[in-house]
Structure 1
Amino acid sequence: MNRKLMWGVLSVMLLAVFACSLPTQGNTPSLSAAQTAAAQTVQAVLAQQTQAALGQPTALPGTPLPAASPTLTASLAPTLTPTPSPSVAPPTPTPRPCNLAHFVKDVTIPDGTTFLPNQHFTKTWRLQNVGTCTWQNYALVFDHGDAMGGPSVVPVSGTVAPGQEVDISVNLIAPATAGAYRGYWRLRSDKGIVFGLTTGNPFWVDIKVVEASPTPTATPTPAPPANVTVTLHTISAEDGHVADDGGVGIKPWAGSYNGHRMDAFLSFDISSIPAGAHVVSASLDLSNATLEGDVFGILGWMRIYHDEYGVLDAADFVPGFPTGAIYTYSSKPTGPFSSSGLLNAVQSRIGQTRVQFRYQFQNNSGTHRYFLNDAVLTIVYTTP
């Protein structure tokens, strides 16, 4: 209701109040009652105006307002318990078949091997039994392709348990015509079941046949140089011995004399061998030596060393029993010895005039000596 209407209603009501206040005859409402009614009407109009301003419905006088709607209280939804997904069973593994082979390698004749026409050869495969059945009375059988003169069936010897490997061979002949050839093979069980590899395929032999090349004219091969043998004796003027007390002697004694160790030295003249010669072999014979006392029983081993000593003096004595010997004796020699150490020592001196050696025992005690007289060095060589 707008303001003009409100004031119009109020004006009418006031006029009615004033009219009612005039004296009248008979039973009329009192002034107090009329004023009360007017006041209620004004209150109702004001209330309606207020409700209209607030956008709420206005109740007419004497009409009860509708009851307020009950307040809705939100309640929490119950917590949902997740439902577990049904478990998925693992896939069932595919069972291995009874008869199955795995190719391991070509033992002979790898793919592309070249042969001459009609050349015989043996092809060998290495296979593994990866099935569940033991191979007994099994056979290799030709499947298709180029048979190459081979048999249609080759028995597999022995027994091959699951997991074991076996070499299976077949004798073949290269075709007579040049070209590329391949033959496919499988296995056959004792029950006649033919099977191949894990791939489902057969295994094969693959070769190439080439025509023989014309035989070239033979070129005469020059004969190898003839071996030359020289036999050398020591140079006695350069032989001798050196004792641990510094004493130097002209005889090649090795061993012990009155408790002093002596090392023997031998020198050989190789000046007759030309420079550039190749030493084929070398041997040294000490079997003509003379023993004094229980040399090897008391003094132990005797070692021989390559030692270019030049002119003997006290400094050539070597204490101890070093390694690096070219040969070791544990008893008196009965013949010549050869060793790579001796050969290398001689070869290293080719082109020089001398090759020299030292001889010493493991221990020293009392007088036990080995006189290295008449030692012989034999050298076989070739020249370029």
Structure 2
Amino acid sequence: MSSTSKKSLVVLLILLFVLSACSSNNATPDPGQVLTQAAQLASEGSTLTAIAQPATATDSPTSTSTPTLEPVPSATSEIIPTNALTEPIVDPNQTPVATQESIATQPAPTSVPVGNFSPDCYVAGFTYDGPPWDYTHFHGTVSFVKEWRLQNIGTCSWTSDVYLIHFATTIIENEKEVRDSNETFGQDTEIVVITDPIPPGGYLDLAIEFTAPPTGNDTYKVYFKLYGPGGVIDIGGGSIWFILDITPP
């Protein structure tokens, strides 16, 4: 029975009780007795309602525990080596390119060419030093011819592109070179000395005319070098020269 029906039944019982009281000898009922009886009726109505009301089915308690899931074993991951990630894939059809490291480790050639020529191409040997002899005395403005003989001991022929160059001039005092001089003894810096080719093993006879400086009053040492297409040609390990004492005219 609903709550509204219960309330209506109680009210109805109270009204019936009041009416029945009024009809009995017309006596005025005791208010306290009326309230007591009404309360008893209301209590009996509640008891009847409670007995008549069917029991409500109680839901079974739901378990709040969550079943533990068994871990599913995963496949073992393959371990990839570190070098496998950085090592380049080599195409078998690709032509390999030399690296800088492989170039650096190659042995150096035994001989380094000078220009486009090997060191053995242009080499000269010194064979003769002719007059005038060292420390010969000349007055200024006097001309003379200095002689040398050289041999071609290289593997290349000497042609007109091989010539003599004035390398340096120094002043000698007490048999020591003490200072430089610009004196060239009347010659150009480059002196042509070959007219016909000189093959390997051949000789070059030099006879070069010089002129003593007009204002000289010193002992001069004058150096010359042979020069060719590959640069300076070694002459027995150095240069050729002459030493002369020059005094004023």
- Whether TM exceeds 0.5 here: the answer is no
Question: Quick one: higher RCO (CA 8 Å, sep 6+), 1 or 2?
Answer: 2
Scaled by the length of structure 2, the TM-score of the pair is: 0.43
Greater share of helix residues, 1 or 2? Answer: 2
